[in-house]
Amino acid sequence: MKIIDYSDRDHYKTQAFQTPFHERAAAFNQKHCWGRWKDYITANTYYDTATEYFAARNACSVFDLTPMTKHRISGPDALDFMNRLVTREVGKIKPGRVGYTVWCNDAGQVIDDGTIFHLEEGVYRLCSQEPQIDWLMTSAIGFDVDIVDETHDVAGLAFQGPTTCAVLKLMGLEGIENLTPFGIAKFDLDGFELTVSRTGYTGDLGYELWVAPEHALTLWDRLFEAGALHGIRPIGSEALEILRIEAGFILAGVDFLPANEAVRPGRTRSPYELGLGWLVHLDKPYFTGKRALIKEKENGSRYVFAKLNIEGNKPAHQSFIFDKRQKFAGTVTSAAWSPSAKVNIALATLEAPHGKPGDQLLAEIYYQRELKWSRVMAPCTVVEGVFWDPPRKRETPPPDF
């Protein structure tokens, strides 16, 4: 079953589609607070963002990620094609494993980031924020590969939080505790196939659960049944936003502009400029953007992606960042108060050479109290690593809570 059938001439009557989980999600969505995610409506918040956030950090949370763009890549040249497409060595992502990656245009500027699921030998699923079929087809010239957009063929839930492994065990997923981070496993759930990957966008222990759309409601029901005594809650995009900033994950269109949508020169970013140099494997055979990236590596980058620890408690949304001499150094792209780390955090794009770990900068923060706006210049420090990094994220088997 396809959730959205592209051949439907009357599709316009449904401006925004419901995901296969909608019926259940709607029952929880006491606020009727829905947002638009590409072709779908999904919850911004169900009940209360703070409560939802803590479900993910304290118990377990369910986020509907069906609208995520998914492409299936297979065929004899699938591996070679993937290696030409992305910056990292895909050969190292064995069947049953997942790898995070970016892909660039010829100029070495990031088109999007996403995850590669090596579903079975030579069959990959690429998950991304933006549709990529045009770029994938462009990149496929000369390769014997088969590329299909399967966004609407797969329903998905992100199941994240410290009690998730316990709940999946209760659900009867035998051996789930042995799944290592970035591993994929398949299970039989009431006679249909459930794919589980130990992946997520929260930087914590967690899984992503994938089924054919017709089994979505069963999955939801089984999950909530099993999680009932383990604090399960659906969460919306507002809570996820805080979770991903704490985890240091970037978001297309927020922390960087997809290169093929950029209009103004200089607005795009290279992987190095997004702090993703570790994903660029210059020692592998040629891939798109490699020449430009080699050059950048030699000559230096224009921008530095930085994680900021900001003094005070006022989130630095859209702040300008200045250096000690009050000269412009960059801007914040994402900001939040971190309820888990109890620090005021932000992701920022800084002009090189700013942004070295330990650099002391100033964030210009506007905040409002009872309709009165004030401004502070809050000192901040460039930090290394992520703001929230619990050991359970890496442990196999993971703890039960």
Helix, strand, or coil (residue 115): strand
Q: Judged by CB under 8 A, which of 1, 27, 50, 133 binds other proteins?
A: 133
Instruction: Let me know: does 293 contact 272? Beta carbons within 8 Å.
Output: yes
Nearer CB in complex with other proteins: 15/368: 15
Site for other proteins contains 143 (CB under 8 A): no
Pairing of strands 372-383, 360-369: antiparallel
| Least Cβ distance, residue 259 to other proteins (angstroms) | 9
Interaction of residue 299 with other proteins, rule CB under 8 A: no
Binding range to other proteins, per CB under 8 A, among 230-238, 258-266, 300-308, 322-330:
258-266
Q: What type of residue sits at position 86?
A: V
Distance CA 209, CA 184 (A): 10
> What are the backbone dihedrals phi and psi of residue 256, each rounded to the nearest 5 degrees, phi first?
-155, 160
Residues 87-126, interacting with other proteins (CB under 8 A): 107
Number of residues interacting with other proteins: please give it, by CB under 8 A. 29
Query: Tokens standing for 21?
Result: 């989980």
**Residue 132 binding other proteins, by CB under 8 A:** yes
Q: Considering beta carbons, is residue 190 or 261 the nearer one to other proteins?
A: 261
What is the Cα–Cα distance from 139 to 135, expressed in whole angstroms?
A: 6
- 135 lines the binding site for other proteins (CB under 8 A): yes
- Choice from 27, 137, 229, 294 touching other proteins (CB under 8 A): 137
**Stretch of residues binding other proteins (CB under 8 A), selected from 129-137, 273-281, 324-332, 358-366:** 129-137
CB of 130 to other proteins, least distance (A): 8
Give the number of other Cβ atoms within 10 Å of residue 7's Cβ.
Answer: 6
Residues, the chain: 401
> How far, in Å, CA of 156 to CA of 199, rounded?
12
DSSP E strand stretches across 32-168: 33-37, 40-45, 60-64, 69-74, 98-104, 110-120, 123-128, 146-149, 155-160
Burial class (CB in 10 A: 0-12, 13-18, 19+), 27: exposed
Q: How far is the CB of 143 from other proteins (least distance, A)?
A: 16
**Smallest gap from residue 246 Cβ to other proteins (A):** 29
Binding mask 265-294 for other proteins (x = CB under 8 A): xx----------------------------
Under 8 Å between Cβ of 63 and 43: no
Q: Kindly tell me which of 35 and 231 has the beta carbon lying closer to other proteins.
A: 35
Task: Give the binding range for other proteins (CB under 8 A) out of 134-142, 159-167, 245-253, 292-300.
Answer: 134-142
Buried b (16+ CB within 10 A) or exposed e, 114-147: bbbbbbeebebbbbbbbebeebbeebbeebebeb
- The answer to whether residue 260 forms part of the interface with other proteins (CB under 8 A) is yes
269 contacts 349 by C-beta, under 8 angstroms: yes
Q: At closest approach, how far in Å is the CB of 15 from other proteins?
A: 6
Nearest approach in angstroms of CB 258 to other proteins is 8
Of 146-165, binders to other proteins (CB under 8 A) are 149
**Least Å distance between CB 136 and other proteins?**
9
> What residues numbered 1-40 form the site for other proteins, per CB under 8 A?
4, 6-12, 15-16, 36, 38-39
Q: Which residues bind other proteins (CB under 8 A)?
A: 4, 6-12, 15-16, 36, 38-39, 107, 130-135, 137, 149, 260-266
